Amino acid sequence: MSDPEKLINIGPKSSAWLRQVGIRSREQLVAAGAIGAFIKIKRAGFRPGLNLLYALEGAILECHWRDLPEGRRGELLLEAEAASVGLPPARGKAMPPAEPVRMIYSDEDPRMNIEPTYDAHRDED
């Protein structure tokens, strides 16, 4: 967003994120919607907070984000959570720990018929 088109609630960092995901005007923001823009930012690997979601909605409605009704904020939160399902974790966010690996062999597997080997030198002790 350029300075002449400064939107309410949108600071320099949010503006940079929007530009990086291809939203450069109020018209493009309105077309994408608050949820669409928020999800684009998340998909780009950024970690936006809920305040950005509310700020985007406020920018579309041309009001301060704190003036959004509590019910609308709740709706936005539910929509954002539903739209975020299946997104990869944000950059820098740790992946959940890996689960133990279990090897399962069938009776027909040739690896199961290996005779144990013993070290002949160990038995001399």
Tokens of 91: 């950059």
Q: What gap in Å lies between CA 118 and CA 61, rounded to an integer? A: 77
Mean pLDDT of the chain: 83
59-111 pLDDT per residue, tens: 999 999 999 999 999 999 999 999 988 777 666 656 667 778 776 666 666 66
Confidence of residue 4 (pLDDT cuts 50, 70, 90): very low
Q: What gap in Å lies between CA 23 and CA 115, rounded to an integer? A: 66
* 26: pLDDT strictly greater than 80: yes
CA angle at residue 1 from 51 to 56, to 5 degrees? 25
pLDDT at residue 3 in the model: 43
The residue type at 108:
E
pLDDT at residue 93 in the model: 58
The CATH number of the domain covering residues in 3-84: 1.10.150.20
Domains of the chain, by residue range, sit at: 3-84
